[in-house]
Structure 1
Amino acid sequence: MTAIPLVLDGYLDELPVPGDDGLTARFRVISSPTDDATDETVFACHAADPHVAHALLNLMQPGDLLRIGGHLAVPGPGDGGGPRLAVDSLELLTPAPARNSAEMTLDRYSSYLVVFNSAVDTVQVFAEDGTWVGTAEHADAITDLIHAHEAGNPPPTP
Structure 2
Amino acid sequence: MTAIPLALDGYLDDLPVPGDEGLTASFRVISSPTDDAMDETVWACRTADPHIAHSLLTWMRPGDLLRIGGHLVLPGPDDEGGPQLSVDTLELLLPAPTRHPADMVLDRYGPYLVVFDPGVHTVPVFTEAGTWVGTAEDPDAINDLIHAHETGSPPDGT
Change (3 A) 1:37 1:20: same
Say if 2:38 is the partner of 1:33.
Answer: no
**Could you give the per-residue CA deviations for residues 39-81 of structure 1, whole angstroms, max 9, x where no partner exists?**
0000000011000001100010000000000000011212111
Q: How far did residue 20 of structure 1 move?
A: 3.0
* Secondary structure of the corresponding residue to residue 78 of structure 1: coil
Q: How far did residue 102 of structure 1 move?
A: 6.9
Say if 2:85 is the partner of 1:85.
Answer: yes
Distance 1:9 1:37 in 2: 15
Larger radius of gyration: 1
| AA aligned opposite 1:54 | H
Identity across the alignment (%): 72
Distance 1:19 1:108 in 2: 37
2:5 counterpart residue number: 5
Change (3 A) 1:107 1:43: same
* Secondary structure of the corresponding residue to residue 21 of structure 2: coil
1:71 counterpart residue number: 71
Structure 2 unaligned residues grouped into runs of 5+: 105-116, 123-158
2:42 counterpart residue number: 42
1:3-152 alignment runs, 5 A limit = 3-101=3-101, 103-104=103-104, 105-107=117-119
Change (3 A) 1:102 1:72: farther
Change (3 A) 1:43 1:102: farther
**Could you give the per-residue CA deviations for residues 78-137 of structure 1, whole angstroms, max 9, x where no partner exists?**
21110000101000001111112573225459xxx9xxxxxxxxxxxxxxxxxxxxxxxx
TM-score, with length taken from structure 1: 0.65
Structure 1 unaligned residues grouped into runs of 5+: 114-158
Distance 2:94 2:15 in 1: 16
CA contact (8 A) 2:101 2:118 kept: no
Distance 1:26 1:102 in 2: 33
CA contact (8 A) 2:62 2:96 kept: yes
CA contact (8 A) 2:74 2:83 kept: yes
Distance 1:91 1:101 in 2: 28
1:126 counterpart residue number: none
Distance 1:93 1:81 in 2: 30
Distance 2:63 2:120 in 1: 31
